[in-house]
Amino acid sequence: MNREMMIAKICMVGLLSALVGAGALAQGAKPGIVLKNDVLSLGFDEEALSLVSLQDPVTGHEFVESSPKLPILWVLDLEKADGTQFQMRSSMVGKRKFKRDGDTLTLTWSELEVAGEKRALEVRVVVTLPKASDRSYWRIEVSNESKSSITSVQFPYIGGISQAGRPSAAIPRHNWGNLEKGISYTRGSYPSDIWPMQFLALLEKDSGLYLAFEDPNATPKYFDLRPGENFFFTSFAENASIPGNDYSSPGPVAIGVCGSNWWRAAKMYRQWAVQQQWARRGPLSKASNIPDGAKNIGIWFNDRLAPDGLEAQIAQIDAAAEFYQLPMAMQLYVWHRAAFDTEYPEYFPAKPEFGPIVKTLVSKGAFAAPYVNGRLQDMGVESAREALPFRVMKRDGTAPIEDYQSGAKLTVMCPATVYWQKTMQDVSRRLVESGVNAIYFDQIAAAEPYLCYDPSHGHPLGGGSYWVDGYRKMLEGVKSLHTPDGTPILVASENTSESYMDTVDAFLVWTPRSPTEIPLLTSVYAGYSIYFGSNAQVETDGGLGPFAMIVGRDMLWGSQPGWLPIDVKSERGAYLRDVARVRHAKRQFFQFGELVGELTPSANPGTTSGRWKNINRDGAEPSEVELPAVMSAVWKSSDGALGVAIANLSGENRTFAYKLNPSEYGISLSEGGEWKLIQTTGEGSKDLGTSKGPELVREEKLNPWEFRFIEVRS
């Protein structure tokens, strides 16, 4: 959350707290209006038109567990012409009515008074629960005839949800996603590293709640979940600060029941997400402007150009090619004339070592991806004067300044401006002319958007889709560049925000790893997007164990491995090579297939532990982390095969027993047919023969740190 959003959030929470008890519903209020199908039941209070029941009819579980302290369904943040901020909520005086028409409920608040102006506002909420649908759809529209402006909207506001400290929440967070247990409060800001996909799942008892903002335009928003109190999404109005602006939801909020397993919520979101504009290039198996070579990268490295060490660096690249024997990519840092995080975007001239390093990599069929910051302008360089009008302008008329301990004052440029789009495209063109076949743009997919209020930029003030649209236009220009043989440039960015998938070819899964991670990301987008990196931040002298825990788990979840310094001598390098070879050999699953589940072991394989660094991104001392000694993932290829990936993350022999029923993943055995099994490890592949019957019952005896893949075909 940027500072402006944070201040607004603090103010909003304080104002809502002050409203507790105002017009509250009587204890034990019952819903007078009910929308219901076989999988979801929604109940509304007839008088307040607030949500008082949200139930799973199959299990009978009620998610609204207490009468809401605030009998409201929406909250509006507004601003007077003099800048004074205030709020309106659905419990305020005005005319309320509802209309039920089959599976659709329309709720209307009319003749609302705004800052002394009578009959100045009307709010209309439409909730639809189709009979055969696994989710309901919620939209809100605000017609504003007042002299005040709408800045943001909290909707739908669900009071009395769950109990503090009891539920878990599966949330797209940082890299793969996190399973946050026993939560009292959690939030996320989209699109960013903090919340890269627009959904979450609230899990408790024997049921779960799918909560998504299915916004096809990827506008800025955030969610707040405070069990025992409330849940709501916040989105931002276009033309905020302009009196009389209206608001219309940029997409429906989708609320459904997903069961107690987060996998179901991820697949519900995938069903919608792969139809959106950011997935318009289609599956990776389909030809597009993503270079074919990018889909087949076997190992990533990162390195800084070493002054006076050119020969040694080239020799190291040669050694990596020989040792790994996989298609390579390398991200290159500090290739430019100035120190890191200074003098952006004045990168040229490049250092003398840059050309030979790029030439060496490209000659080996590798991708050479120099680092470019796609977001920041150094205010201390010559180009800053020309850039001044195109900076982000916050609501108070100032521009953000960010400090990365480099000594430079860096401001955030508005991506909707042609000036900044062209600046980045010009840098990219010069890089391509120098021989590169890939470019890494830092921060674009990671950083939260600012709300920009500069009217000269030509975009709506405050909210809107211009942030993502602007970067999309910028990167479309970069994607129009080609190498001399006509191959499109590989475009990569930091972290994993879905909104840029149509112009970013590969996303660096960068954030330091956490033991609470789950593969939400690839359960949604496997087969549609490339993710790379196995960022093993562990102690140098900690042995193989902590390293293998991170890298092995990342391989199960589908990442192109590496984004590490070249290592051709240690046991860590050998482990990385072996698991990378398995992944590359089975990329029809890991790269082009779908991650569909994980195995439940028939017997507990035990645990393993190791010390990881920066778990909370706070630079604290390494923490002891415990994971299951053996972890697994089930993948499905587009040609109807299943793949079982199993990683022994410990340094001991382990046994992993399990049952696999392929029909659970839509693959059936024909009458009289058999399953054919092929095993692949770092040492190669072997035929395991066939198996009869609809279910496979197996026991894998795994060597220390073994990564095994079993292909199952009918």
Q: Which residues of 421-430 are buried (b: 16+ CB within 10 A; e: fewer)?
A: bebbbebbee
Beta-sheet strands, E only, within 334-475: 367-373, 376-378, 401-402, 410-412, 438-442
| Mean pLDDT score, 502-506 | 98
pLDDT for the residue numbered 306: 79
Q: Which residue has the tokens 């009910």?
A: 34
Say whether pLDDT at 20 is over 60.
no
Kindly state the percentage of the chain with pLDDT values over 70.
96
Q: How confident is the model at residue 13 (pLDDT cuts 50, 70, 90)?
A: very low
pLDDT for the residue numbered 669: 86
**In a shared domain, residues 114 and 172:** yes
Q: How confident is the model at residue 678 (pLDDT cuts 50, 70, 90)?
A: very high
pLDDT for the residue numbered 167: 96
d(CA 551, CA 299) in angstroms, rounded, equals: 12
Q: How confident is the model at residue 202 (pLDDT cuts 50, 70, 90)?
A: very high
- CATH code of the domain containing 472: 3.20.20.80
Say whether pLDDT at 555 is over 60.
yes
**In a shared domain, residues 262 and 305:** no
Q: How confident is the model at residue 23 (pLDDT cuts 50, 70, 90)?
A: very low
Say whether pLDDT at 10 is over 90.
no
Of the listed ranges 8-22, 329-343, 412-426, 689-703, the one predicted with least confidence? 8-22
CA nearest neighbour of 318 among 352, 356, 351, 291: 356
CA nearest neighbour of 323 among 547, 571, 574: 574
**In a shared domain, residues 122 and 179:** yes
Question: 456 vs 364, 369, 416, 449, CA distance in Å?
Answer: 47, 34, 11, 18
Tell whether 62 is covered by a domain.
Answer: yes
Mind listing the pLDDT tens digit for each residue in 139-182?
A: 999 999 999 999 999 999 999 999 999 999 999 999 899 999 99
Residue type, 350: A
Residue type, 563: W
Mind listing the pLDDT tens digit for each residue in 75-109?
A: 999 999 999 999 999 999 899 999 999 999 999 99
Q: Which residue has the higher pLDDT, 619 or 495?
A: 495
**In a shared domain, residues 522 and 664:** no
H-type alpha helices, 383-528: 384-387, 418-433, 466-479, 520-525
Q: How confident is the model at residue 53 (pLDDT cuts 50, 70, 90)?
A: very high
Domain of residue 494 covers 296-374+418-532
pLDDT for the residue numbered 514: 95
Tell whether 518 is covered by a domain.
Answer: yes
Tell whether 583 is covered by a domain.
Answer: no
Say whether pLDDT at 3 is over 60.
no
Please enumerate in sequence order all residues whose Cβ is within 8 A of that of 240, keeping only pairs 6 or more positions apart, or say none: 79, 149, 150, 151, 152, 395, 451, 453, 461, 462, 463
Domain boundary, last residue among 490, 516, 532: 532
Mind listing the pLDDT tens digit for each residue in 557-574?
A: 999 999 999 999 999 999
Three-state DSSP at 549 gives helix
Mind listing the pLDDT tens digit for each residue in 270-321?
A: 999 999 999 999 999 999 999 999 999 999 999 998 777 899 999 999 999 9
Say whether pLDDT at 18 is over 50.
no
| Mean pLDDT score, 244-251 | 98
Tell whether 280 is covered by a domain.
Answer: no
pLDDT for the residue numbered 29: 57
d(CA 654, CA 89) in angstroms, rounded, equals: 58
Say whether pLDDT at 4 is over 60.
no
**In a shared domain, residues 448 and 501:** yes
d(CA 364, CA 440) in angstroms, rounded, equals: 19
Structure tokens at 473: 């236009």
User: Do 87 and 12 contact (CB within 8 A), yes or no?
Assistant: yes
Backbone angles phi, psi at 513, to 5 degrees: -75, 155
pLDDT for the residue numbered 241: 94
**In a shared domain, residues 303 and 242:** no
Tell whether 553 is covered by a domain.
Answer: no
Question: Is the pTM for the entire model greater than 0.75?
Answer: yes
User: Do 577 and 569 contact (CB within 8 A), yes or no?
Assistant: no
Say whether pLDDT at 395 is over 60.
yes
| Mean pLDDT score, 188-206 | 96
Say whether pLDDT at 610 is over 90.
yes
Split into its structural domains, the chain has a count of 3
Tell whether 168 is covered by a domain.
Answer: yes
- CATH code of the domain containing 249: 2.70.98
* Residue 572, Ramachandran bin (φ over 0: left; ψ between -120 and 50: alpha; else beta): alpha
Instruction: Give 348's DSSP letter.
Output: P
**In a shared domain, residues 236 and 301:** no
**In a shared domain, residues 216 and 329:** no
Residue type, 466: Y
Tell whether 695 is covered by a domain.
Answer: yes
Calculate Rg over the CA atoms of the chain.
27
Say whether pLDDT at 22 is over 70.
no
**In a shared domain, residues 259 and 302:** no
Mind listing the pLDDT tens digit for each residue in 205-237?
A: 899 999 999 999 999 999 999 999 999 999 999
Instruction: Give 68's DSSP letter.
Output: -
pLDDT for the residue numbered 179: 97
Does the N-terminal peptide bond of residue 352 adopt cis geometry, omega within 30 degrees of 0?
no
pLDDT for the residue numbered 28: 53
**In a shared domain, residues 302 and 263:** no
**In a shared domain, residues 220 and 150:** yes
Please state, rounded to an integer, the average pLDDT across all residues of the chain: 93
**In a shared domain, residues 265 and 300:** no
| Mean pLDDT score, 337-356 | 95
Tell whether 305 is covered by a domain.
Answer: yes
* Residue 535, Ramachandran bin (φ over 0: left; ψ between -120 and 50: alpha; else beta): beta
